Amino acid sequence: MPTIFYDKDTGLEPIRDLTLGIIGYGNQGRAHALNLRDSGIKVIVGARKDGSAFTQATKDGFEALSIDAVAKRADLLGLLLPDEVVSSLYSEQIAPHLRTETGLLFAHGFVVHHKTIPLPEHGDILLVAPTGPGRQLRSLYESGSGLPALIAVERDHSQQAWARCLAYAKAIGCTRAGAIKTTIAEETVTDLFCEQAVLCGGLPELIKASFETLVSQGYQRELAYISCLKEVKLIADLLFNQGIDGMRAAISNTAKYGSAVAGPQIIDEQSKAHLQKILSNIEDGQFAQDFLRDTKNGSPTIKNLMQEEKSSLLADTGRELAEKISF
Ligand SMILES: NC(=O)c1ccc[n+]([C@@H]2O[C@H](COP(=O)([O-])OP(=O)(O)OC[C@H]3O[C@@H](n4cnc5c(N)ncnc54)[C@H](OP(=O)(O)O)[C@@H]3O)[C@@H](O)[C@H]2O)c1
Ligand SMILES: [Mg+2]
């Protein structure tokens, strides 16, 4: 079992007298900032003045400042920006303004693990990565519970890095559920691998290919959409609540037998070799390099995928069904 920290293991004192700067007020940033403030921590928010984050942070009652001003004033600075944005903004707008003791905190280890920014020589380097989106982090906090997080200390300059990391995790509600100790390397690799292999890469491709298989053989596309895509939620809920063995116990014998026979045909030795290749590509930094190059070129890979999916028969079917049936 990994080491797991709970509320009882930590207080807020280690960050009580610090000014926390949050740069990036989007999915994660807004939830972190609101939870920190409600826990009594002093927060300032950094955003570009013409962006929607700046307006939203001001509306939420924060002192919203330019990114460089927050980099200058913060004792602990959360860089809660998209990974490719940190890589491009850091050297110009953040690094020149940091004080020697300023610590950096991330919600995902990408830029630290892949060394896409030159880290300052001094200061703590912390990770508090909630295991879900900001909206959930906020709503669970408001309801008195919390979202689990992965936490790590990459560098302990202050000799208080772990205490600060735990206090931050507590202030955003994560130690109410459990904060799991890891390393930035482990968090980065496992997060990237699972989003590529299962959550956002493998699963959607399997849905698309299965939908196309049925439709190409003349089956009604609406039925194909419901069984290949909509019903994923039912199985995902079972997996989430009861694990794979619990899910199997809850489905029919026909489904059990069918999955025993068909599953290994889909994930065969060749698929396992692909998984291994995807993992090595992440581990050796090739994926990060390719992703940042694609971003520099205007993200053609992402744009093509999204355009293709938006104009697909599968997407049209989903939109048409949404008008006719409420699920
Ligand atoms: N999303 C998740 O569920 C999740 C879960 C766990 C960890 N994380 C990690 O959390 C970190 C933040 O991700 P996120 O999803 O919260 O990001 P996000 O919502 O996409 O971040 C948007 C924020 O970035 C700002 N921004 C974007 N481009 C900018 C630019 N060029 N210059 C200045 N500001 C810019 C936006 O400001 P404007 O309004 O001015 O555009 C906005 O404040 C990442 O490391 C991510 O891996 C995310
Ligand atoms: Mg991720």
Same domain, 157 and 30: yes
Q: DSSP H helical segments within the chain, as ranges?
A: 13-16, 27-38, 52-59, 67-73, 83-89, 110-113, 134-142, 161-171, 174-177, 184-194, 202-216, 221-225, 232-250, 253-266, 269-283, 286-296, 300-310, 313-324
Same domain, 158 and 136: yes
Query: What mean pLDDT, rounded, does the chain reach?
Result: 97
Same domain, 267 and 124: no
What is the structure's pLDDT at 95?
A: 96
Same domain, 204 and 178: no
**By alpha-carbon position, which residue is closest to atom 29 of ligand 1?**
85
Same domain, 14 and 161: yes
What is the structure's pLDDT at 327?
A: 81
Query: In the chain, how many domains are there?
Result: 2
User: Smallest Cα–Cα separation from 318: which of 252, 247, 229?
Assistant: 229
What is the structure's pLDDT at 326?
A: 87
* Tokens found for residue 19: 């000014």
Same domain, 11 and 139: yes
**By alpha-carbon position, which residue is closest to atom 41 of ligand 1?**
51
Helix (H, G, I), strand (E, B) or coil at 64: strand
What is the number of alpha carbons within 13 Å of residue 88 lying toward its C-beta? 9
Domain boundary among 183, 214, 238: 183
Q: Which domain holds residue 64?
A: 4-183
Handedness of CA 83, 88, 90, 91 (dihedral sign): positive
High-pLDDT (> 90) share of the chain, %: 98
CATH code for position 79: 3.40.50.720
- Whether 154 has a pLDDT exceeding 90, the answer reads yes
Q: DSSP H helical segments within 90-160, as ranges?
A: 110-113, 134-142
Domain boundary among 158, 183, 208: 183
Region 57-76: mean pLDDT is 96
Pocket of ligand 1 (CB under 6 A): 24-29, 47-48, 51-53, 80-83, 85, 89, 107-108, 129-130, 133-134
Same domain, 169 and 205: no
Region 67-87: mean pLDDT is 96
Q: Please, are residues 55 and 84 in contact by the beta-carbon 8 Å criterion?
A: no
What is the structure's pLDDT at 183?
A: 98
Ligand 1 centroid–CA 327 distance in Å is 31
Domain boundary among 183, 205, 227: 183
Q: DSSP H helical segments within 11-145, as ranges?
A: 13-16, 27-38, 52-59, 67-73, 83-89, 110-113, 134-142
Ligand 1: which of 22, 23, 79, 80 to mutate, judged by most atoms within 8 Å of the beta carbon? 80
Give CA–CA dist 81/72, Å, rounded: 17
Region 178-202: mean pLDDT is 98
Neighbours of 51 (CB within 10 A): 12
Ligand 2 centroid–CA 248 distance in Å is 28
Q: What is the pLDDT of residues 212-250, one digit of tens each?
A: 999 999 999 999 999 999 999 999 999 999 999 999 999
Q: What is the model's pTM?
A: 0.95
